[in-house]
Amino acid sequence: MFLSVQVPDRCAACRTRFWVILPALCLSLLSYIGSHASARSLPRIEATGNAVVVNRQVALRFTAPYGRSLPGVRARAVADRLMIEALRGLAPHAIQPDRAGKQWRVVIAGRTPLLQVTPQDSHAHGSHPKALAYRWASQIRRALAIPPVAIHPARLVVPLGETRVLKLDGYAEGTPSAWIEQNAPALQLVHPPGARHLMVRAETPGKAVVRVRVGKNEATCVVEARKWAGQVPLDLTAEVTGVPEAPADLVLHAANAVLRHAPREPGATLQVVTPLQAIHPLPAGQSRTLTARVTLKGPGYLPTSGLARVRVINRELPYRPATRLFYSNNPEHITRHTTLYTATLTDDAPARVMFHHDNQMSGTVLLAVSIANLSDQEVRLHVTPGFVAQDRNPVKVGFLAGRAFLNNALRQRGEIWRLPARTAMPLFLQRLAPGETGSGLAQIRMINPPADVRCRVLVEALSPVHTGFASAAQNRLDPWRYTRPRPLSRTQLAALPPGPGAETTYRPRRQMEAQYVVGERWAFVPIGLPEASTSDTDHAEIAGDYGVLYDIRVTVRNPHPYPQVVTFEFAPGGGPAMAVFTVAGHCIAIPEVRPPHHRPITRITLRPHEKRVIPVQTVPLGGSSYPAKLIIR
């Protein structure tokens, strides 16, 4: 409805009477329109001094008169026009700046003038008329858009166990009431008396709707309670061994393995943004902290990022030779999926593990060597590895495994990791194609094991799709670094009896003496038994002594008054063989040699009349032919 009022220009008295009755006409108009307005909440518009206040926010302020209208009169006129339009359903976007000739103004719906921007206004506000028109229009729109009741933010994610604040806003007057819809996750809602905010605490995961009401006006906020994907690890510890130091790559690999297995929520992943770095070796008995920036995330979880810290310790473990040899070679040829060998660790005495098998099946088979903790307590295991990639040449793969093991054993290099109760962890997981051979040597030791702890070592031929370990661990030389321990079911525990049972362990070490005097008969040291013997009831013996560590104490003497050279040679006796020796602390690899040829190992120069004791170590290697001889001449 539009109201047109014409003022007859007869006399000043008439005009005076008109301005007296205009407020009453405006009130009548507002009353009429208000009675026909919908039940929706109207904006709160008023003039306070020379300011136009919309929904409790100053939309604009006049500082200069317009003609005879003072700033306060201008403010009341604008407020009245806005209120009339609001009763008719004014939308905020209808307020727009407009150019009228050389002047600027603010209009409603593109046609109804709301206010004029005068040069005095722009001068008072230090702006151009156009810029001021745009600014005032924008301020009025923003103020009109304020709801009677509002919650900020309208959607909120609260980490589980934490508290967040919701801000209450709006122009509606009255005491707000807040509540949470039923059938929602456990949320604690606190509204301090008189405060313009709410505090929300998440107790269980899920979504809920928080509602706030003032009079007939209501606002909602969707609150979602989520778990963090995990906590950025700050106190991880990796343990290695190495004398006199652990190399930088061992330090780095051990730290990465611990970081890779850092605790997190199920289904969450840890992504390394900036990797760990280790450049220098770590001396025995010392520690070093490595850092990496990581991100933890996963479906349904809150992501988190930060700087992870891993402390790497080079433990000084007293050297202890192996007391048992776990030898898996019978059958050497894999023809079906089966358990090839089992043995039990029952104390802290080290055991050496050797395996050498080739795949004679028509398809790929997984050769798996794992350790299962059958007890109810966690154990700490020290592992000195000697694992290499599979190969079609059985002599080569056995040689590479022996070289890797002796290199690590000579310097006591290894890792210490924890095996939780009733879980299993892989030492070796290699996919063997038909005709390929897998071979390896390792030394295992439980560190300060609790009483009645039993760990079972298993060598198995498995289907590659039914291992129970992460596929990322297959065909790696360090699979324990890429998979978590696998829980053992009751059926698996029942199939692995806790006692040693009828298992075979072998003699792990032979100590021998040899003497050679320059110019006299050569010294011959036999390596590898020609046939098996069962004279020892505690340890069986293997034909060839494969995996047995030979500790040979060689005494050489030069009786001459001038220097002499002593030569150490390797001589296979039964067929082609490769070998690895450590002589006086130096690891020496011997390429393949066939009888009756000899291969020099090293040469040592003796001073005149010098007598020297030289320690020599070797291990008969899988795939090579033994017996053989060490010749000193």
Helix, strand and coil in the chain, % to nearest 5: 15, 45, 40
Query: How many CB atoms sit inside 10 A of residue 174's CB?
Result: 12
Stretch 276-295: mean pLDDT = 96
User: How does pLDDT run across 395-429, given as a tens digit for each residue?
Assistant: 999 999 999 999 999 999 999 999 999 999 999 99
Does residue 416 contact residue 381 with C-beta atoms inside 8 Å?
A: yes
pLDDT for 359: 97
Question: What ranges make up the beta strands (E) of 277-404?
Answer: 282-283, 287-297, 301-302, 304-314, 324-328, 333-334, 338-345, 351-359, 365-373, 379-387
Q: DSSP string spanning 167-230?
A: EEE-S--S--EEEE-SS---EEEE--TT-SEEEEEE-SSEEEEEEEEETTEEEEEEEEEEEES-
User: How does pLDDT run across 96-118, given as a tens digit for each residue?
Assistant: 999 988 899 999 988 889 999 99
Burial of 114 (0-12, 13-18, 19+ CB in 10 A): buried
Backbone angles phi, psi at 17, to 5 degrees: -65, -35
Cα–Cα nearest to 356, from 321, 385, 390, 317? 390
Residue boundaries of the structural domains of the chain: 1-35, 37-144, 150-228, 236-314, 324-495, 509-632
User: How does pLDDT run across 115-137, given as a tens digit for each residue?
Assistant: 999 999 999 999 999 999 999 99
Positive or negative, the CA dihedral 400, 403, 408, 414 is: positive
DSSP letter assigned to residue 423: E
Position 191 confidence tier, pLDDT thresholds 50, 70, 90: confident
Burial 41-65 (b: 16+ CB within 10 A, else e): bebbbbbeebbbbbbeeebbbbebb
Stretch 38-52: mean pLDDT = 82
Cα–Cα nearest to 279, from 249, 321, 313? 249
For 509-632, the fitting CATH number among 3.20.20, 2.60.120, 2.30.30, 2.60.40 is 2.60.120
Does residue 595 contact residue 627 with C-beta atoms inside 8 Å?
A: no
The torsion region of residue 221 among left (phi > 0), alpha (psi -120 to 50) and beta comes to beta
User: How does pLDDT run across 352-375, given as a tens digit for each residue?
Assistant: 999 999 999 999 999 999 999 999
Contacts of 72 (CB under 8 A, 6+ apart): 47, 49, 50, 62
Q: How far is CA 51 from the centre of its chain?
A: 57
Position 489 confidence tier, pLDDT thresholds 50, 70, 90: confident
Position 269 confidence tier, pLDDT thresholds 50, 70, 90: very high
Domain 150-228: top CATH class: mainly beta
Position 42 confidence tier, pLDDT thresholds 50, 70, 90: confident
Does residue 214 contact residue 178 with C-beta atoms inside 8 Å?
A: no
Alpha carbon distance 325, 549 (integer Å)? 10
Burial of 218 (0-12, 13-18, 19+ CB in 10 A): middle
Position 186 confidence tier, pLDDT thresholds 50, 70, 90: confident
Position 532 confidence tier, pLDDT thresholds 50, 70, 90: low
- Percent of the chain residues past pLDDT 90, beyond the cut: 76
- Which residue in this structure is represented by tokens 């390429």? 591
Cα–Cα nearest to 415, from 308, 261, 234? 261
Cα–Cα nearest to 277, from 260, 252, 257? 252
pLDDT for 21: 43
Position 13 confidence tier, pLDDT thresholds 50, 70, 90: very low
Stretch 152-172: mean pLDDT = 93
Cα–Cα nearest to 337, from 371, 367, 307? 367
Q: What tokens appear for 284 in the block?
A: 């025995």
Burial of 160 (0-12, 13-18, 19+ CB in 10 A): middle
Task: Please state which of the ranges 205-209, 399-403, 568-572 shows the lowest mean pLDDT.
Answer: 205-209
- Percent of the chain residues past pLDDT 70, beyond the cut: 91
Residue 522 confidence (pLDDT) above 80: yes
Cα–Cα nearest to 136, from 111, 108, 100? 108
Does residue 359 contact residue 434 with C-beta atoms inside 8 Å?
A: yes
pLDDT for 193: 84
Alpha carbon distance 458, 464 (integer Å)? 16
Residue 542 confidence (pLDDT) above 90: no
Position 530 confidence tier, pLDDT thresholds 50, 70, 90: confident
Residue 252 confidence (pLDDT) above 80: yes
Q: Using omega within 30 degrees of 0 as the cis cutoff, is the peptide bond preceding 331 cis? A: yes
Residue 33 confidence (pLDDT) above 90: no
Contacts of 38 (CB under 8 A, 6+ apart): none
Burial 352-374 (b: 16+ CB within 10 A, else e): bbbbbbbbebeeebbbbbbbbbb
Could you give the angle at the alpha carbon of 527 between the alpha carbons of 599 and 591, nearest 5°? 30
Could you give the angle at the alpha carbon of 89 between the alpha carbons of 83 and 90, nearest 5°? 65
Q: What tokens appear for 3 in the block?
A: 């109201």
User: How does pLDDT run across 319-355, given as a tens digit for each residue?
Assistant: 899 999 999 998 999 999 999 999 999 888 999 999 9
Query: How many CB atoms sit inside 10 A of residue 547's CB?
Result: 29
Contacts of 322 (CB under 8 A, 6+ apart): 349, 350, 351, 352, 443, 508, 509, 549
pLDDT for 185: 65
Residue 180 confidence (pLDDT) above 60: yes
Residue 8 confidence (pLDDT) above 60: no
Alpha carbon distance 74, 155 (integer Å)? 40
- CA end-to-end distance (rounded Å), the chain: 125
Q: What mean pLDDT is reported for the chain?
A: 89
Residue 228 confidence (pLDDT) above 90: yes
